[in-house]
Amino acid sequence: MPGPDQPTLRALAERRSVPSRLLAEPAPDEAHLAELLQLGEALAARARERDPQAAEAVVDKARRRFSFAPLVVAVVARLTPDHKVPECEQRMTAGCVCFALLQAARGAGYGAQWLTGWSAYDRPFLARLGLGEHEELAGFIHIGTPTDTPDERERPDAAALTRAWTPD
């Protein structure tokens, strides 16, 4: 059996999301920027639809949600009902894609953050993105060049969350 892959173990131990507000240039090209801005306006309109009394700050936050990072990737779980792989595992696979994309971005020298928010669960907005009836959004992966080092965060105590199990 090969020995531990120390660079991989270290990368996993040091993994942290770079907040989208800390992501900067390089930026998207004009076509991608136009697409992002259109998406921001669609999200702002949907926020207003959901709550016609929404404060302008709430609508503006929705409008800017996709404008911080130069690239935002929507990861979609395409669920196949009655498939031999249960739907919950199909969802988890999409989550693994999100995690792998975060790691790939970090490995390539970029920062990234996996975000959802209300728009990830709003069917009219998801339809605007082109998602079908049996599709769900696993997350928006924001990718860019870090402008600062994110703070270390408190990590859960693995020993408190795990236990050994043996069959009786």
Binding residues for FMN are 15-17, 47, 114-116
Q: How far apart are CA 59 and CA 48, in angstroms?
A: 7
Pick left, alpha or beta for residue 130 (phi over 0 → left; psi -120 to 50 → alpha; otherwise beta): left
Annotated binding site: 15-17, 47, 114-116
**Helix H or strand E segment including 49:** helix 30-50
Backbone angles phi, psi at 7, to 5 degrees: -60, -40
Question: Within a 13 Å sphere around the CA of 76, how many CA atoms are in the beta-carbon half?
Answer: 12
